[in-house]
Amino acid sequence: MGRLILFSPIGGTDPIASSTEYDGSMLHICRHYKPDKVYLFLSNEMLARQKNDDRYRLCIEKLGEKLDHKFEVDCIEAEELHEVQDYDEFYKRFKPIVQDIQKDMQDDDRLIVNVASGTPAMKSTLLMLAVMSEGKIIPVQVVTPERTINFHPGKEDDTYNVNYYWEHDRDNDESAENRCKQVDCPSLTAILKKNILVRQVRSYNYASALMLGSEIRDYISDEAYYMLELAVARQQLNLNEVMRISQKFKFDIMPVKESGKSSIFEYALTLYVKMYRREYGDFMRAISPLLTDIFEAILKNNCGIDIHRYCNEYQNGDSRLVVNKLNGTEEGREILTVLNNCDDFRGDFKDSSLAAGNLKPILVHFLKDESVKNCVTKMRAIESRIRNMAAHQIVSITDDKIKSLTSDALGTPMTIKQIFDEIKKLVVAAKVPIKKADWGSYDIMNNKIEELLTICLLYTSDAADEL
Does residue 261 lie within any of the structural domains? no
Find all residues with CB under 8 Å of 287, minimum gap 6, and list them: 271, 379, 382, 383, 387, 423
Last residue of a domain, one of 183, 203, 228: 183
Q: Look at 462 and 217; give whichever has higher pLDDT.
A: 217
Mean pLDDT (whole number) for 42-47: 90
Decide if pLDDT at 102 tops 50. yes
Q: How confident is the model at residue 394 (pLDDT cuts 50, 70, 90)?
A: low
The answer to whether position 263 is within a domain reads no
- Quick check: 153 pLDDT over 50? no
pLDDT, residue 413, reads 93
**Does 224 lie in the same domain as 128?**
no
225 and 123 share one domain: no
Identify whether residues 120 and 41 lie together within a single domain. yes
Give residue-wise pLDDT tens across range 3-27. 999 999 999 899 999 888 999 999 9
pLDDT value for 115: 93
How much is the pLDDT for 159? 78
The larger pLDDT score, comparing residue 158 to residue 407, is at: 407
pLDDT 10s digits, 399-413? 888 898 888 888 899
223 inside domain: yes
Tell me what pLDDT residue 460 has.
31
Task: Lay out the sheet containing 352-353: strands in order across.
Answer: 311-313, 319-321, 352-353
Are residue 40 and residue 142 in the same domain, yes or no?
A: yes
Whether 207 shows a pLDDT value over 50: the answer reads: yes
Of 124, 150, 183, at which residue does a domain stop?
183
List, for residues 323-373, the tens digit of each pLDDT value. 999 999 999 999 999 999 988 888 889 999 999 999 999 999 999 999 999
In a domain, 267, yes or no: no
Give the model's confidence band at 155: pLDDT under 50 very low, under 70 low, under 90 confident, else very high: very low
Q: Same structural domain for residues 321 and 336?
A: yes
pLDDT tens for each residue of 60-74: 999 999 999 999 999
Question: pLDDT exceeding 90 applies to what percent of the chain?
Answer: 64
Mean pLDDT of 276-290: 91
Q: Is residue 464 part of a domain?
A: no
In a domain, 265, yes or no: no
CATH number of the domain encompassing residue 36: 3.40.50
Q: Is the pLDDT of residue 390 over 70?
A: no
C-alpha distances (whole Å) from 395 to each of 67, 381, 388, 399, 419 are 68, 19, 11, 13, 19
Instruction: Say if 262 falls within a structural domain.
Output: no
Last residue of a domain, one of 183, 199, 216: 183
Domain identity same for 192 and 179: no
In this structure, the answer to whether residues 246 and 278 fall within a common structural domain is: no
Do 160 and 129 reside in the same domain of the chain? Answer: yes
- Same domain, residue pair 162 and 203: no
Per-residue pLDDT at 385: 80
Domain range for 298 is: 273-434
In the chain, the number of structural domains is 3
| Residue 466 domain-assigned (yes or no) | no
Of 73-77, 121-125, 146-150, 321-325, the range with the lowest mean pLDDT is 146-150
What integer is the mean pLDDT of 185-192?
A: 72
Regarding whether 335 and 208 lie in a shared domain, the answer is no
Question: Do residues 61 and 110 both lie within one domain?
Answer: yes
- Same domain as 455, residue 429: no
